[in-house]
Amino acid sequence: MEISGKTKVCALIGDPVEHSLSPTMHNAAFKHLGLDYVYLAFRVRKEELRNAIDGIRALKIHGLNVTKPLKVDVTALLDDLDESALEIGAVNTILRRGDKLIGYNTDGVGALEALREAGVHLQGIKAVILGAGGAARAVAFATAPKVKELVILNRTITKAESLSRDLKHRLGVDVRFGGLSEVEKEEELKDANLLINATSIGMKPNEDLSPVSPNLLRPDLTVFDLVYNPIETRLLKEARRVGAKVVDGLSMLLFQGAASFSIWTGREPPLEVMRKALKSALEERSSG
């Protein structure tokens, strides 16, 4: 990839960003398609966000991904928000169009694509989402209009309640909510078809933890874990062991990235190139 005076710059902003897989995934895709783009990562602390956005405007950075802890705060600094970002109240992708910065959220579409690729049908099913943070909000807004019944369980119950209220207000959908106690998980999972872990439980360095005890897993329950580091979490291992269908977080990471790529370039993303880049980066990391 030759950098020139015309190279378009895309970047990730957040804190931390050093371990992000997005530069590897997007640079592999730009290179594969011969696009004159480069993807970098900038560590931006919360208190520096306003200056960073001013700098992005001045430097005419073409596209951005936004990660923790900036996804919500950045919404107030942009010129326009796409419907996806408005609903969720958080932005993970920015496109510069002329002098305007437009915010999008591709996490929801990433989750839907990951489920579609795995052959999971949402119509007529009961889904249970664990978590009510940024990722859970995106997944809840994407799945709520499609499933028959949705339940949100979260450690901080007020956050689950406010997500349920927002879903009712924006989509007109009734979504039950509760805490993350063993009793609530048992009660809600016994007749569920799809379990989605959108908490960070099971993520490295706590990969020996699972949000759900194995006795609540069944062969006819599909288990989708958003955690992608490790790719096969303890929850997914235990689900596979009982014969359940599993969907890993790597596929969502791929599809949310692919959607951002399309927004910036207007091109069809080279999915297999991006998937391979992600997998080898993760494997290299876990062996290193």
Binding residue for ligand NAP (CB under 6 A) from 28, 41, 64, 203? Answer: 203
Q: Find, among 256, 257, 239, the residue nearest to 196 by Cα.
A: 239
Calpha distance 208→206 (Å, rounded)? 5
**Which residue, 206 or 280, is less far from ligand NAP as judged by CB?**
206
71 is annotated as an active-site residue: yes
- Catalytic residue among 31, 46, 60, 71, which? 71
Q: How many helices (H) and strands (E) does the chain have?
A: 10, 12
Name which position in 49, 227, 247, 282 contacts ligand NAP (CB under 6 A): 227
> CB count, 10 Å around CB of 269?
21
- The rounded distance, in Å, linking the Cα atoms of 242 and 110 is 26
- 93 in contact with ligand NAP (CB under 6 A): no
Cβ-contact 139, 196 below 8 angstroms: yes
The answer to whether the CB of 132 falls within 8 A of the CB of 156 is: yes
d(CA 108, CA 255): 10
Which residues, in sequence order, are CB contacts of 7 under 8 Å at separation 6+? 36, 37, 38
- Residue 90 makes contact with ligand NAP by CB under 6 A: no
**Is residue 110 part of the contact set for ligand NAP (CB under 6 A)?**
yes
Region from 6-14, 33-41, 148-156, 273-281 binding ligand NAP, contact rule CB under 6 A: 148-156
Say how many residues touch ligand NAP, by CB under 6 A.
25
Minimum CB separation of residue 5 from ligand NAP in Å reads 34
- Considering only 105, 164, 256, 260, the residue that binds ligand NAP (CB under 6 A) is 256
Considering the rule CB under 6 A, would residue 224 count as an interface residue with ligand NAP?
no
Closer to ligand NAP by Cβ: residue 102 or 282: 282
Among 4-12, 32-40, 94-102, 192-200, the segment contacting ligand NAP (CB under 6 A) = 192-200
**Cβ-proximal residue to ligand NAP, closest one:** 133
Cα dihedral 276/280/282/284 (nearest 10): 180
For the CB of residue 259, give the shortest distance to ligand NAP in the complex, in Å: 11
Return the amino acid letter for 146.
K
Separation between Cα atoms, residue 193 and residue 20, nearest integer Å: 32
**Residue of 89, 108, 249, 270 interacting with ligand NAP (CB under 6 A):** 249
φ, ψ of residue 44 in degrees (nearest 5): -125, 120
* Contacting residue, 156, 181, 280, 286, with ligand NAP by CB under 6 A: 156
Whether the Cβ atoms of residue 15 and residue 49 lie closer than 8 Å to each other: no
- Catalytic residue numbers, as ranges: 71
Residues in contact with ligand NAP by the rule CB under 6 A? 107, 110, 131-136, 154-156, 159, 180, 198-201, 203, 226-228, 249, 252-253, 256
